[in-house]
Amino acid sequence: MINTLILGGGMIGTAMAMDLARRPGFAVTVADLRPDVLARIAARYGVATLQADLSDPGIVASIAARFDMVLGALPSRFGLQTLRAVIEAGRNYCDISFMPEDALVLDGLARERGVTAVVDCGVAPGMSNLLAGWAASRLDPCERIDIVVGGLPVIRQKPFEYKAPFAPYDVIEEYTRPARMVEGGRVVIREALSGVEPIDLPGIGTLEAFNTDGLRSLITTLPQVPTMTERTLRYPGHADLMRAFRTAGLFSQEPITVAGQTLRPFDLTARLLFPLWTYEEGEADLTVMRVLAEGQEGGHQVRYEWTLFDRYDPETGLRSMSRTTAFPATIVAGLIASGRFRRPGVHPPEVLGREPGLPETILEQLAERGVRYTATVTRC
């Protein structure tokens, strides 16, 4: 029995708990500070729970040391300190936190402690990285990688036509953090929300794609690819509205004083927006992603394309973004725990994409869970 700890009982942590609880060989404990969240998860999935302040890395290290395998589903602002705490506890780790820092700075510590840690192991980053790494290992040369991805409500409601599937601060960060792309073999910086382009996708119609900082580790781990882009998908008009908010200073983290009170506009905006951006119980969402890779293989120009079009699952009550993010992490955690992938260090998912047989295994196990990627290969 693999004694497994899930850090965080939010939407993603809940999906992790559901998935691992129904898999043989896992004994699951969910840790979170909120007693109501823990009570709901325990009642629904029959897992053990542990109330703890996970913003304290000392507490995280102490708890993690009691388990065989740890999964992280905390907001990004806790990502790096949590990764360090789990590594220092000497426990293998799989994380989806999308931390703003470079997780690879802890690679040496993980090697020293004999810890296998896979980070950014969600849908994007996550599966997008894995598929990019797989394609880059097959194409010689790999000339271009392009990723578009988004999570959206099925029902469009003005003025936002958007609901947030994860932590509010992480959503706003997407709209403010400069976007790194690779053009002509060089890293270039684009403004977040720039480069808006309509994209038609089967099953949903026309969306808009705009620049966000989603390439992350691919910039350094795939230096041989001269062109790489990652863009976020929303319903048309969303980027213009968010740029207006940003221009007005509503996303600023610089404190201002209003009526004698000091606050950050960022915090006020998050507090006001997110009740409006919160999914209702049973409200349907969808996740859409396309990963393209082009290059040479066997003397031919080849184009690999993977598409994901996933919807809310009414049977489990889990949102699509929760499922498509959580399941790659639970699958990889199982591969680590079983010894199928065991390599001390901090690894982004593209490393697994280069391992023979691992991408196929992960895609097969996702399909068993109802998350299906459609692959097409075009040879010229």
Burial class (CB in 10 A: 0-12, 13-18, 19+), 112: exposed
64/113 Cα distance (integer angstroms): 14
Digit-by-digit pLDDT tens for the chain (380 residues) are: 999 999 999 999 999 999 999 999 999 999 999 999 999 999 999 999 999 999 999 999 999 999 999 999 999 999 999 999 999 999 999 999 989 899 999 999 999 999 999 999 999 999 999 999 999 999 999 999 999 999 999 999 999 999 987 777 788 889 999 999 999 999 999 999 999 999 998 888 899 999 999 999 999 999 999 999 999 999 999 999 999 999 999 999 999 999 999 999 999 999 999 899 999 989 999 999 999 999 999 889 999 999 999 999 999 999 999 999 999 999 999 999 999 999 999 999 999 999 999 999 999 999 999 999 999 999 98
Distances (CA, A) of 32 to 37, 55, 131, 182, 312: 8, 10, 32, 38, 24
Distances (CA, A) of 61 to 4, 259, 348, 378: 14, 42, 22, 48
Tally of CB atoms within 10 A around 25: 11
Distances (CA, A) of 349 to 74, 137, 153, 215, 365: 18, 13, 27, 12, 16
In b/e form, how buried is each residue of 358-374, taking b as 16+ CB within 10 angstroms? bbebbbebbeebbbebe
Tally of CB atoms within 10 A around 33: 14
In b/e form, how buried is each residue of 189-207, taking b as 16+ CB within 10 angstroms? ebebbebbeebebeebeeb
By the 8 A CB rule, do 332 and 71 touch? Answer: no
Distances (CA, A) of 213 to 75, 177, 266: 17, 7, 19
Distances (CA, A) of 174 to 98, 178, 228, 247: 11, 8, 18, 15
pLDDT tens digits for 92-133? Answer: 999 999 898 999 999 999 999 999 999 999 999 999 999 999
pLDDT tens digits for 49-92? Answer: 999 999 999 999 999 999 999 999 999 999 999 999 999 999 99
